[in-house]
Structure formats: structure tokens, C-alpha cells
Amino acid sequence: MSLPAFHDSHCHQPGDATGGFVIALECEPSFPGTFNNREIGRFHDPGRGRIAIPYLGAHSELEGRVVKYHPRFEGYDPARLDSDIRRFGRRLVLIDTLNALHWSPRAYRELAQEHPDVAFVMCHAGGYDVLEFVKMCRFLPNVWLDFSVTWHEFGWVSGVPRLPFVADLIDHALSERRIAPRLLFGSDYPLLEQSDALMRLVAAVDDPQPFLTGNFERLLDTVALG
């Protein structure tokens, strides 16, 4: 099976993707096949649309206009991220949003509203809170989504929807003209495979190109990366 060309907006090593966000992890113990802030630079190649993204640990400090936040792993609260974004002049912020218990969808939304010039990629589109994140993307022009993990967990990728509401919502988002331009293909590779989600996406829409490469490239233009 040959895969179409694609950028992976959420991976921890590139796999088969030409470009994308290759995101560091600094967790202990580390996940096999992932890289920390020191190691991730080997993948950085803006010329081909491949951007290494450093990860902010709970007790660390990080320079730079691009960062990945992980409230669920690191426990930081919204006020910390609000001041971090200001202090370091962040331009592009990736935030894990998967089933956070101590962050409400509202906390993510207020951060995006507070920083309209910063692009926010809401990684995983919220898990159980997916409706709130699709709504956020619809109304806030600086909010972008990837459905990684969520589209596996709720059965959209498998084609056997275990929770049809979520599968229908993902289909809705992919065809909604005010949402679709800010949806990115993300896999969470190598924690999950790229090919099954990719082929499901290609089968789901008439023109997969925006989701595979176009939207991602526009995001890089928006934040003047790449």
C-alpha cells in the first residue's frame, strides 16, 4: 500500500511523513521511539516543512516562539501558560487537550481568546470534550485541531464507530467550510500508526489534499515558519 504525500502535525518521529511537527517528549519513563528536547533537533528541516517542537516540562524554562505544552502530564495551570506565552513571545503553541481533568475546555478557549495573534493547535481535539473543541475551532480563527487518538478511541478510524456521535462530529468538521481549513492530519506516531488514520481520511473526503498538506502549510505561513 503506498501512502499519499502528507505532513504529520502530531508525531514524535516523522515516520512516512514528509513534513510536520515532530514533537519532543520529556516524560519519565520515556515512551519508546520518542525524543527529548536535546535530541529532537535532528528532525528539524524547515525547508521541507518539518519543524521540531520542544516540550515544556513542569519545572523547566524554554526560550523560543514555538512550544508544546502538556497540562495533563505536567500539571501546570492556565495562568502559568498565559504568562509563559507573554514572556517568551510565543507564536505557535501546541497543547495536549486529551481528556484533561483539571483543565476545562473553557480554560483552553480563554487562552486562545487572550492571545489572538498566537496560533493554537489543540492536539487530540479534546477527547471526550471534542464537541467543545470543534466549536472553538469554528469560532476562533487562531484555533487549529488534530483528531489524533480521539479518532481511534471513538471508532472513526476503525470504521466501526463505538461512539457514533463523535464519528459523525469528525465527519461534520471535515466538511464544514469554517472548520475544515484549520484541521490538520496528526497521528501521534509512533504511539499510534500513521497509515490507518491516513487511509481512513483519504476515503472520507472528496479532496484530502488540504488535510494532508495544504492546511499545515498555511499554518506555517500564518506563523512565519518553514
Binding site residues, Zn ion, CB under 5 A: 188
Q: How far is the CB of 124 from Zn ion (least distance, A)?
A: 8
Pairwise CA distance, residues 136 & 156, whole Å: 21
Closer Cβ to Zn ion, 36 or 113, answer by number: 36
Q: How far is the CB of 188 from Zn ion (least distance, A)?
A: 4
Closer Cβ to Zn ion, 16 or 176, answer by number: 16
Q: How far is the CB of 12 from Zn ion (least distance, A)?
A: 6
Pairwise CA distance, residues 156 & 171, whole Å: 9
Q: Please give the backbone phi and psi of residue 189, each rounded to the nearest 5 degrees, phi first.
A: -60, 140
Q: How far is the CB of 202 from Zn ion (least distance, A)?
A: 22
Closer Cβ to Zn ion, 190 or 226, answer by number: 190
Closer Cβ to Zn ion, 8 or 188, answer by number: 188
- C-alpha cell read off for 189: 506516531
Q: How far is CA 75 from CA 56, 78, 213, in A?
A: 11, 10, 33
- Number of C-beta neighbours around residue 32 at 10 A: 7
Q: Using the 8-state DSSP alphabet, how is residue 106 labeled?
A: H
Cα distance between the two ends of the chain: 29
Name the residue number minimizing CB distance to Zn ion.
188
